């Protein structure tokens, strides 16, 4: 072990990180030590001339595991508890890691060792999962530029390091821009229409800043409340504009503009792909996905758009007519859509989102989700006290099977707050790894940005929040229920990106299941379960404005693919032009010219979805088909889904896992039925 500060919590071999002990000053020394140790481990493998699975692959997995165990808490804290000191330490350490892995990914000696394993006489006799790990490892080296020479190799490394830095800077700019804007409200009349639960959240934001009254911010609960309920159209317009110009030259804080970063990111991705012999970044992206080409994915999206457009046009016509009749809005604008849609939904289906929220207090929803997981997969989630966490609101659960012994764990960080990036996600804290006589249990982070509780009431979730929680639990289950012992192919690791959303979207379906909703609902005041008539009305409204939602997702996905497929170095990224062309073909209601959606599109420019955002819809096709299989087979399907999908990781191609569960390849019919589109 390389010398490092005594007591550095990032370097201790513990089952769980000691988050309360981690300080920014620990980060760079820990990463320095971790990189040195990883380099030494690789040197031992490559200088030994080893050709056996254990001496090459297991030794590599061990080195990777140790490094990821130390780095994971840092990356997580950067997303959920950001401070200036932590941000600076994270940026410095991430640059070190990016530079190191750019070189390590081109280590020809380690690549040659993997080739020796694959060419060895005993390779065909290895378990299928072990062979798959070797094959994917070899592919990973090739995609990391191991075959490049001289200047091309150096340039490829430089690009990788720069892209990592730009992605971090992009996300930081969005977070800073989100926190930079607020509107202080003293007179509650200015917030007419906003329900009491949302007003309590806005008041808590004001208290956080030492202010009286209410504070409207660009945090997710605030934006959703204003755009859905505020009767003041000008307020809705101001919030919409501030939110949709974040991190751009059109905002009140243009110093956070991400435009130049986007241009660099797209250009560098294109150059990197071409260095590897691909025509463009989209072609490079689909190399690790189920789709065979960007054109196939675009054709899939175009077909959906063709089917969805009539439904979306009808949705928009309804909204425009209702806005004119009920609110005297002659020209429906994007900042009116959420408000008008909620009012129309209340009128047409008798639904009031605020009334629905009363049935979903977070503590009971969590209890119901735990019951669902046990019913489907025979796994109990048991709360554990005394776990070191980064915020007092964070929960920790052990996952326990029939033996009663914990085999996995999950942290839940569910509420929006300052210093925490928006959205919802699952990430890996620790992967499963069986190393000799020791098994490291998998641990996940589940992060959301729900409205926090108030002093006198628990947090109340919208039905969409419930679906979000189920979605992220699907990712968690994919990670923690793996039975693959190698981190590189266990859980979500190395699963084709357009299939990785299958388990999460599969779980969303249970948010519409009557028995499940009975489990997760309990009125915050009366304790009553969700009434049958309210459930029937919710089900009737399930496809309310589904056409508009679907076209919006198709717009995002098509823009992402075309931006990366059609990039021309001679003219640059053409971000707004590409988006305008896609909207002209796909959308039925274009946003204002000043909107800068792309400047905060973190999935694509600061996440793992570059030229892959279409995977949400691709995986939704898989999940709709998979859920219909569940409905046909009954409860026993949970065991099959766990065995054939959740437990397998990337130990075999995702298409093979789906076929093993469903008995055939996926068909698009279920997705079309899911959205009410004709097959």
Tens digit of each residue's pLDDT (9 = 90 or more) over 392-403: 999 999 999 999
Residue 271: active-site member: no
| Least confident window among 320-324, 474-478, 541-545, 565-569 | 541-545
Tokens of 384: 């554990």
Same fold flag, 9-147 and 362-540: no
Q: Are 617 and 554 in contact (CB under 8 A)?
A: yes
Mean pLDDT throughout 547-557? 95
Q: How confident is the model at residue 454 (pLDDT cuts 50, 70, 90)?
A: confident
**Residue 240 to residue 221: CA distance in whole angstroms:** 13
- For β-strands 380-383 and 395-400, DSSP reports them as antiparallel
Q: Is the distance from CB of 179 to CB of 418 less than 8 angstroms?
A: yes
Question: Domain spans of the chain?
Answer: 9-147, 181-256, 259-351+545-613, 362-540
Output the pLDDT for position 422.
87
pLDDT at 6: 62
Over residues 483-494, the pLDDT tens digits come to 999 999 999 999
Helix (H) or strand (E) holding 380: strand 380-383
Phi, then psi, of 259 in degrees rounded to 5: -60, -45
Q: Which residues pair with 447 in a beta bridge?
A: 413, 425
SS3 per-residue string spanning 309-353: HHHHHHHHHHHHHHHHHHHCCCCCCHHHHHHHHHHHHHHHHCCCH
Distance, in Å, from the CA atom of 97 to the CA atom of 330, rounded to the nearest integer, reads 55
Fold for the domain defined by 9-147:
Glutathione S-transferase Yfyf (Class Pi); Chain A, domain 2 (1.20.1050)
Tokens linked to 504: 């999460």
* pLDDT at position 634: 78
pLDDT at 1 > cutoff 70: no
**pLDDT tens digit string along 206-249?**
999 999 999 999 999 999 999 999 999 999 999 999 999 999 99
| pLDDT score recorded for residue 197 | 86
At 678, is the pLDDT very low, low, confident or very high (cuts 50, 70, 90)?
low
Predicted pLDDT of residue 119:
97
DSSP string, 566-622: S-BTTTB--HHHHHHHHHHHH-SSPPPTT--GGGG-HHHHSSS-TTTTTHHHHHHHH
Select from 375, 640, 320, 318 the least CA-distant residue to 520: 375
What residues form DSSP beta bridges with 101?
A: none
Q: Could you tell me which CATH number the domain at 362-540 has?
A: 1.10.1370.40
Q: What would the pLDDT profile of 128-158 be if each residue is shown by its tens digit? A: 999 999 999 999 999 999 999 999 999 999 9
User: What's the confidence (pLDDT) of residue 481?
Assistant: 98
The per-residue pLDDT of the chain, averaged, comes to 95
| Confidence (pLDDT) at 2 | 44
183 has which bridge partners? 216
Burial status of residue 610 (CB atoms within 10 A of its CB: 0-12, 13-18, 19 or more): buried
Angle at which helices 24-47 and 59-80 pack, to 10 degrees?
Answer: 160
CATH number of 259-351+545-613: 1.10.1370.10
Percent of the chain with pLDDT over 70: 99
- Catalytically annotated residue among 354, 472, 496, 644: 472
Query: What is the per-residue DSSP string for 140-177?
Result: HHHHTTTT--HHHHHHHHHHHHHHHHHHHHHHHHHHHH
Residue 293: pLDDT band with limits 50, 70, 90: very high
- Which carries the bigger pLDDT value, residue 2 or residue 602? 602
Q: The pTM is what? A: 0.88
pLDDT above 80 for 321: yes
Distance of CA 326 to the CA centre of its chain: 38
For residue 636, name the pLDDT band (cuts at 50, 70, 90).
confident
pLDDT of 601 above 60: yes
Length, in residues, of the chain: 679
Q: How far, CA to CA in Å, does 585 sit from each of 334, 573, 598, 610, 616?
A: 18, 19, 18, 21, 20
Q: Which H or E element spans position 440? A: strand 438-440
């Amino acid at each position: 072990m390389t010398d490092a500060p005594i007591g550095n919590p990032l370097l201790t071999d513990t089952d769980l990180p000691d988050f309360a002990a981690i300080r920014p000053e620990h980060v760079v020394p820990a990463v320095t030590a971790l990189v040195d140790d990883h380099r030494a481990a690789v040197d031992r493998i490559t200088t030994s001339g080893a050709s056996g699975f254990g001496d090459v692959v297991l030794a590599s997995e061990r080195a990777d595991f140790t490094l990821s165990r130390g780095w994971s808490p840092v990356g997580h804290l950067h997303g959920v508890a950001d401070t200036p000191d932590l941000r600076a330490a994270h940026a410095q350490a991430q640059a070190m890691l990016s530079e190191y892995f750019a070189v390590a990914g081109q280590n020809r000696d380690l690549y040659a060792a993997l080739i020796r394993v694959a060419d060895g006489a005993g390779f065909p006799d290895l378990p299928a999962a072990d062979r798959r790990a070797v094959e994917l490892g070899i592919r990973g080296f090739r995609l990391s530029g191991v075959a490049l020479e001289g200047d091309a190799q150096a340039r490829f490394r430089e690009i990788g390091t720069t892209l990592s830095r730009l992605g971090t800077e992009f996300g930081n700019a969005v977070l800073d821009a989100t926190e930079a804007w607020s509107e202080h409200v003293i007179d509650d009349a200015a917030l007419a229409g906003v329900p009491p639960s949302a007003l309590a959240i806005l008041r808590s934001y004001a208290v956080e800043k030492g202010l009286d009254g209410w504070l409207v911010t660009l945090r997710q609960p605030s934006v959703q409340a204003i755009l859905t309920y505020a009767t003041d159209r000008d307020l809705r317009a101001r919030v919409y504009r501030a939110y949709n110009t974040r991190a751009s030259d059109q905002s009140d804080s243009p110093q956070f503009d991400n435009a130049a970063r986007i241009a660099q990111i797209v250009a560098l991705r294109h150059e990197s792909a071409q260095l590897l012999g691909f025509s463009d970044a989209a072609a490079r992206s689909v190399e690790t996905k189920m789709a065979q080409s960007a054109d196939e994915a675009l054709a899939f999206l175009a077909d959906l758009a063709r089917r969805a457009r009539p439904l979306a046009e009808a949705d928009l016509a309804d909204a425009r007519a209702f806005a004119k009749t009920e609110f005297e809005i002659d020209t429906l604008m994007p900042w009116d859509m959420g408000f008008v849609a909620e009012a129309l939904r209340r009128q047409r289906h008798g639904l009031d989102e605020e009334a629905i929220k009363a049935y979903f207090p977070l503590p009971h929803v969590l209890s119901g989700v735990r019951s669902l997981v046990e019913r489907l997969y025979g796994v109990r989630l048991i709360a554990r006290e005394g776990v070191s966490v980064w915020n007092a609101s964070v929960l920790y659960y052990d996952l326990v099977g029939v033996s009663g012994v914990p085999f996995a764990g999950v942290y839940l960080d569910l509420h929006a707050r300052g210093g925490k990036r928006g959205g919802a996600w699952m990430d890996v804290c620790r992967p499963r790894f069986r190393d000799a006589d020791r098994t490291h249990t998998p641990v996940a982070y589940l992060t959301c940005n729900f409205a926090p509780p108030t002093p006198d009431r628990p947090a109340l979730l919208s039905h969409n929040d419930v679906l979000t929680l189920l979605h992220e639990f699907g990712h968690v289950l994919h990670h923690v229920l793996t039975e693959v012992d190698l981190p590189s192919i266990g859980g979500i690791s190395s699963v084709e990106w357009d299939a990785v959303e299958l388990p999460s979207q599969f779980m969303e379906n249970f948010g519409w299941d009557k028995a499940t909703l009975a489990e997760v609902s309990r009125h915050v005041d009366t304790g009553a379960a969700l009434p049958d008539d309210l459930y029937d009305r919710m089900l009737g409204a399930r496809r309310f404005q589904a056409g508009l939602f679907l076209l919006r997702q198709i717009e995002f996905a098509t823009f992402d693919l075309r931006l990366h497929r059609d990039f021309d170095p001679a003219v640059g990224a053409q971000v707004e032009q590409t988006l305008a062309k896609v909207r002209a073909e796909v959308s039925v209601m274009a946003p204002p010219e000043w909107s800068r959606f792309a400047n905060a599109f973190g999935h694509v420019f600061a996440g793992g979805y570059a030229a892959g955002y279409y995977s949400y819809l691709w995986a939704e096709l898989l999940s709709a088909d998979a859920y219909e299989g569940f409905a046909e087979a009954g409860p026993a399907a949970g065991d099959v889904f766990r065995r054939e999908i959740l437990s397998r990781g990337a130990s075999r191609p995702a298409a093979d896992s789906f076929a093993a569960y469903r008995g055939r390849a996926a068909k698009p019919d279920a997705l079309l039925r899911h959205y009410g589109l004709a097959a």
